[in-house]
Structure 1
Amino acid sequence: MPLIRTMQKNSVSIKSSKEILKHAIRFIGQHNLTAVPINYTVSYEYCRGDHALLRQAIDQAIASKQPINNEVMQCWFDTLLLGYDLKELSESQLELNKIASQLALTTTQAEENVIQFDNSLNECKSGLSEAPNISSLLSIVSLLLNSTTSMQIAMEQMKQQLTASKQEIASLQDRLAMATIEAITDPLTGLTNRKGLSSAISEALLSAQQSQNYPCLLILDIDFFKKINDSFGHLLGDKALIILADTLKKQIKGKDTAARYGGEEFAILLVETDLQNAWKVAENIRRIVENLKITRIHDHQEIFRMTISIGIARYQADQSINDFIDHEDSALYQSKNTGRNRVTIFEAKL
């Protein structure tokens, strides 16, 4: 389950939070946004002003007079506020708290050492002002040397602690980056998962706001996949999924995204691609897949072949993401209902 990573635990007074909420509600009203939790979250974080990237993105959109709608708000939420896996984030917060506590302790100890060193210097200064003899001078020099040595040791310990903390933070950042990747990756095929696809769609729609060159989405489904599982077992069923995923990876380029949508369903997001070229991509994939042979590892004997059905739709201006995906599903069902192993482009009913 994802969490919002930028929800900092700053202490905000009730009065301040009420003011922020008023501005957030006003922001939602000004842009005719739906009153849903995601829009409240983005608006509140923007009005609070703690999230620099979010603030910059919205300020730029307002300055350039770009439309701010529900899809854009969803994109900002997904790309800027949506964070890491709950378990990983909780563990990371504990580790960060531990590092912060260590640094606080180190700082406190350093402050105490500085105070102690300062007291020693003042004591020496006082002793020198009293016209000391040789014996007292030696005592003062000895005190200075001891205090200086103690301070050097304390500073070296602090340096080592800061270095260790820096390494721990770097390691933690790497782990969080890996957790982010894992959170949007299908473990079996290595493709983007449904959550990652949703983020990719939101980003593509945000990028297309000015050019109006909206993306196309392909939904692909393996025909009679249950029969493959029942006849040859789940291991070969998984092999079929992996082979199809590898095929999709080879057929996309640039900013396009291939994803495992769920079960035996896959998706390809084609950015800056019209329906005609999207159909060419889909038809090419369909032909490649129907010619694939699923073979046994030890003797390469053919076990079965598979086919796929594909539905295509292109995003329409002011359309919701759910409607966009529903259109792909409708086209896919049409491919299934008219014989399978074919490509269908969604056509709106007049």
Structure 2
Amino acid sequence: MSDQEFTRALGYANAAFDLLKRSGIPPYPQFYELLYTYATGVNPSLNTRLNSIFRGGEKPSSELAETLFNEFLKSDMTERMSSVSERMHARIEAVHDAIDTAMSTASSYSGSLQSATGDLEGDLSDEDMKALAARLLSETRRMQKTNLELEKRLEASRDDISLLQRDLDDVRRESMLDPLTKIANRKSFDEGLADALVEARDTNTPVSLIMADIDHFKTFNDTYGHQTGDQVLRLVAMTLKSNIKGKDLAARYGGEEFVAVLPYTDLHGAVIVAENVRKAIQAKELLKRSTNEKLGRITASFGVASFNPNDNAVSLIERADRCLYAAKHAGRNRVVSESELVDIVEAPKDASAA
């Protein structure tokens, strides 16, 4: 974690604890998560609701916090996973029951065959032979019926398991997407970057990282409202995603920050990609959907770093983050790569860098 990221996270944490203390809400993990999320601003719907509550003079309570947590943060993934698990368990139990029945029937049939073998070795009358044949025929039919039932149950289980697999795939995909922008979320980014670094080491190929931050987003959000802010976040996300290709991964890093992992791309190539994204964002003029009011243009700043043999995920992110802050302090709306860091003198860090 870079110094800048640590400072941001600490600020969010302090704000969350301050809100907990002032509201008299116990600092249970779910309530801390609720107010930490509010402090980051990554869930605009939650912020709109809480801001309305604060403006209305209502003092938050544990009950209200629980309600908000369940509404905005408690994912239905757990319930869906539980449902899939229960269905899988029921299907496995059904298969086990069918197999047990088939094994029991097979064992009985085997016993009947052994008994018949012993009888055949003796001197049987015609009537005894007919009775033995009838008994074996009955046992054979029972065995056929059991096998047919087992086949049907296995066929049904195969179809159901296919549906369960699709449900699990859907849940996993949703768990890896940012709900607002519909691009990869932080968890997906962490996994994607880790995989890209492993591949880069194994194949001795380059991989680069782009970090982007929307300039003056907080001011824009405060001026035009969270719904318009959401529109901006989606716009930047889609612009980033549309300017990468192949195995590249675009993700929302948090708040108004975005990242892109570019396997098989060196620093020079990554800078070109970042410049293309920067220009594409700057070229788009925003309109407020409800009124068609022109809101002007937005810009973003970019930091670019490339993997080296001594890197891990943390060190690569820290270098890209330093480049991003260098771009902010150098005037925003620009791309700074790690090769340029030595030529840029960073100004003191303050809130205006957002």
Instruction: Please tell me the TM-score bracket, short chain as reference.
Output: 0.5 to 0.7
The answer as to whether partners of 2:326 and 2:341 remain within 8 angstroms in 1 is: no
1:79-99 Cα offsets, whole Å, 9 max, x none, are xxxxxx776666555544433
Deviation for aligned residue 1:171: 2.0
User: Which position in structure 1 is the counterpart of 2:322?
Assistant: 330
Deviation for aligned residue 1:289: 0.9
User: Which position in structure 1 is the counterpart of 2:134?
Assistant: 142
Deviation for aligned residue 1:213: 3.6
Identity of aligned residues (%): 32
Spell out the pairing of 1:114-133 with structure 2 (5 A cutoff): 114-129=106-121, 131-133=123-125
Establish whether residue 170 from structure 1 lines up as the match of residue 145 from structure 2.
Answer: no
Structure 2 length-normalised TM: 0.67
Structure 2: 5+ residue stretches without partners: 1-76, 344-354
Deviation for aligned residue 1:335: 1.8
User: Which position in structure 2 is the counterpart of 1:286?
Assistant: 278
Secondary structure of the 1:219 match is: strand
Please, which of 310, 313, 334 is the counterpart of residue 321 of structure 1?
A: 313
The answer as to whether partners of 2:197 and 2:313 remain within 8 angstroms in 1 is: no
Deviation for aligned residue 1:101: 2.9
The answer as to whether partners of 2:177 and 2:183 remain within 8 angstroms in 1 is: yes
Q: Distance in 1 between matches of 2:313 and 2:117?
A: 75
Supply the AA of the counterpart residue of 1:246: M
User: Which position in structure 1 is the counterpart of 2:193?
Assistant: 201
Please, which of 149, 169, 183 is the counterpart of residue 157 of structure 1?
A: 149
User: Which position in structure 1 is the counterpart of 2:230?
Assistant: 238
Q: Distance in 1 between matches of 2:85 and 2:291?
A: 52
1:238-271 Cα offsets, whole Å, 9 max, x none, are 1111111111121001121111111111111222
1:5-39 Cα offsets, whole Å, 9 max, x none, are xxxxxxxxxxxxxxxxxxxxxxxxxxxxxxxxxxx
Secondary structure of the 2:332 match is: coil
Q: Distance in 1 between matches of 2:179 and 2:309?
A: 34
The answer as to whether partners of 2:213 and 2:300 remain within 8 angstroms in 1 is: yes
Supply the AA of the counterpart residue of 2:218: K
Secondary structure of the 1:217 match is: strand
Q: Distance in 2 between matches of 1:130 and 1:215?
A: 81
User: Which position in structure 2 is the counterpart of 1:276?
Assistant: 268
Supply the AA of the counterpart residue of 1:248: L
Establish whether residue 113 from structure 1 lines up as the match of residue 105 from structure 2.
Answer: yes
Spell out the pairing of 1:1-350 with structure 2 (5 A cutoff): 92-129=84-121, 131-209=123-201, 212-297=204-289, 300-346=292-338, 347=340
Deviation larger for 261-270 or 292-301: 292-301
Specify whether residues 115 and 274 from structure 1 end up closer, same or farther in structure 2 by C-alpha distance, changes over 3 A only.
Answer: closer
Deviation for aligned residue 1:167: 1.9
Supply the AA of the counterpart residue of 1:111: M
Deviation for aligned residue 1:282: 1.4
User: Which position in structure 2 is the counterpart of 1:20?
Assistant: none
Q: Distance in 1 between matches of 2:196 and 2:115?
A: 69
The answer as to whether partners of 2:228 and 2:288 remain within 8 angstroms in 1 is: no
Deviation for aligned residue 1:154: 0.7
User: Which position in structure 2 is the counterpart of 1:7?
Assistant: none
Deviation for aligned residue 1:315: 2.1
Specify whether residues 128 and 280 from structure 1 end up closer, same or farther in structure 2 by C-alpha distance, changes over 3 A only.
Answer: closer
Deviation for aligned residue 1:277: 2.4
Secondary structure of the 1:295 match is: strand
Structure 1: 5+ residue stretches without partners: 1-84
Q: Distance in 2 between matches of 1:274 and 1:111?
A: 61
The answer as to whether partners of 2:178 and 2:185 remain within 8 angstroms in 1 is: yes
Secondary structure of the 1:190 match is: coil
Secondary structure of the 1:104 match is: helix
Supply the AA of the counterpart residue of 2:198: L
- CA RMSD in angstroms comes to 2.6
The answer as to whether partners of 2:271 and 2:335 remain within 8 angstroms in 1 is: yes
Deviation larger for 205-214 or 188-197: 205-214
Supply the AA of the counterpart residue of 2:166: D
